[in-house]
Amino acid sequence: MQNTLSALCLMAVAAGAWAADGNEKLMGYTEGAEVIDVARETGRIDEIVDIVYSQIKGRRHMTTLKMTVLQPKTDGLKPAVVYFPGGGFTSADYDKFIEMRMALARAGFVVAAAQYRTVPVKFPALIEDAKTAVRYLKAHADMFGIDPSRVAVLGDSAGGYVTQMLAAVNGEKGWDKGDWLNVDSNIAAAVSLYGISDLMSIGEGVGNDRVHASPAVTEALLVHGYAFRNFEGASILSDKKKALAASALGHVDGTEPPVLLMHGTADKLVSPLQSKRMYEALKAKGTDVSYILLKGAGHADDPWFQPQAIARVVNWLKLKLGGEKARESK
């Protein structure tokens, strides 16, 4: 009983303290209302969905490619990141990996997530689409509050293949096709998570070499297409020159922007040797490259969604791209 009375007295004292602070003068206040003062620690983030960034005319229909943008509601010019999703070259569900995208947006980046064409459409369509997505953001930099000189790309798995290719062919105008050709598609940095650098050795060392030798595997379809009429289909190994031309390792020349490669040591879908070889090739050419292995992590499994792993990507991009800058007065 004594304890109950003491607790009631403390509550009464606390209520009196709130009133003594002048809260009784607040509009809407009444006795018994709890008043809290919320610290302004983060800003707002707008999500703009269903943005059509490209339309590709086919023989009988138009292919429409979309993106979603997360835009921090601040006044300055912000660095941007374009996320390209994985999907085994057969899908590009760009609305996933929200954990990573929101972490980047909270850190001050404008974050786009972009769709791209997949199998049965052959290489280099997906690279052309990715470059178009970069150009779209640059062409609409004012709309989204972007500094067009600080646009990076991020991808996982097949999306990591895309970002490695964008880094390896950075500045090569021959890959620019489609819309928004009044701006360039150059990128300031690239991040690849468990991505593919060499289409001829995706399964090396992880026990699925026979699958990747099949003409039905998706990288073979990406490069050679489906069996049809007189074409019986072809393994990715059947034309090594063509496969290398469709691989980031075939284009490394030292002109790449800063690159971050991350891979899980227990990845059984895309061999960790893919990132190892790309790291060694970039390093040999003097490129600014970082390489992080996640011990025990597999392919797109839970470790990749943990704050520690996400923070490594966010912090690396902050280091390479910097933060928000004031707009120049006109």
pLDDT value at residue 313: 98
Proportion of the chain above pLDDT 70, given as a percent: 93
Tokens of 133: 């997505």
Listing DSSP states for 260-304 in one string gives EEEEETT-SSS-THHHHHHHHHHHHTT--EEEEEETT--SS-GGG
Q: Note whether residue 88 is domain-resident.
A: yes
pLDDT tens track for 31-55: 999 999 999 888 899 999 999 999 9
* 9 — pLDDT class (breaks 50, 70, 90): very low
In the predicted model, what is the mean pLDDT of the chain? 93
- Residue 141 lies inside a defined structural domain of this protein: yes
DSSP secondary structure letters along 136-157: HHHHTHHHHTEEEEEEEEEEET
CA separation, residue 97 to residues 63, 72, 93, 118 (Å): 24, 18, 10, 19
- Residue given tokens 């059947």 in the structure block: 238
140-189, pLDDT tens digit by residue? 999 999 999 999 999 999 999 999 999 999 999 999 999 999 999 999 99
Categorize the per-residue pLDDT at 330 as very low, low, confident or very high, splitting at 50, 70 and 90: low
Cα distance from N-terminal residue to C-terminal residue, the chain: 71
329 within a domain of the structure (yes/no) = no
How much is the average pLDDT of 248-274? 98
Give pairs for 40-45: CB < 8 Å, separation 24+: 42/106, 43/72, 43/73, 43/74, 44/72, 44/73, 45/70, 45/71, 45/72, 45/73, 45/102, 45/105, 45/106
Among residues 223, 227, 231, the alpha carbon closest in space to that of 200 is found at 223
In angstroms, what is the C-alpha Rg of the chain?
Answer: 25
Q: How confident is the model at residue 327 (pLDDT cuts 50, 70, 90)?
A: confident
Asked, for residue 116, whether it belongs to a domain, the answer is: yes
DSSP state of 71: E
Per the domain annotation, does 39 fall within a domain? no
Q: Is the pLDDT of residue 22 over 70?
A: yes
Residue 16 confidence (pLDDT): 47
C-alpha 58/C-alpha 269 separation (Å) is 33
The β-bridge partners of 291 are: 261
Mean pLDDT value across residues 236-258: 97
Instruction: Tally the domains of the chain.
Output: 1
Query: How many C-beta atoms surround the C-beta of residue 208 within 10 A?
Result: 15
Per-residue confidence (pLDDT) for residue 31, from 0 to 100:
92
Question: Would 11 be classed as within a structural domain?
Answer: no
Please list, in sequence order, all residues whose beta carbon lies within 8 angstroms of the beta carbon of residue 75, skipping any fewer than 6 positions away.
145, 327
pLDDT tens, residue by residue, 278-303: 999 999 999 999 999 999 999 999 99
Sheet harboring 62-72: ordered strands across?
45-57, 62-72, 110-114, 78-84, 146-156, 189-193, 259-264, 289-294
Residue 26 lies in a domain: no
Supply the range of the domain harboring residue 235: 45-321
Question: Does residue 13 register a pLDDT over 50?
Answer: no
Contacts of 183 (CB under 8 A, 6+ apart): 135, 138, 139, 148
H-type alpha helices, the chain: 2-20, 98-106, 125-139, 141-144, 158-168, 209-212, 218-224, 240-245, 273-284, 307-321
Q: Are 235 and 311 in contact (CB under 8 A)?
A: no
Using an 8 Å Cβ cutoff, are 224 and 254 in contact? no
* pLDDT tens column, 85-134: 999 999 999 999 999 999 999 999 999 999 999 999 999 999 999 999 99
Half-sphere exposure of residue 58: CA atoms within 13 angstroms, side-chain side? 8
What's the CATH code of the domain at 80?
3.40.50.1820
The answer to whether residue 173 is domain-embedded is: yes
Tell me how long the chain is: 330
List residues bridging with 290 in a β-sheet: 260
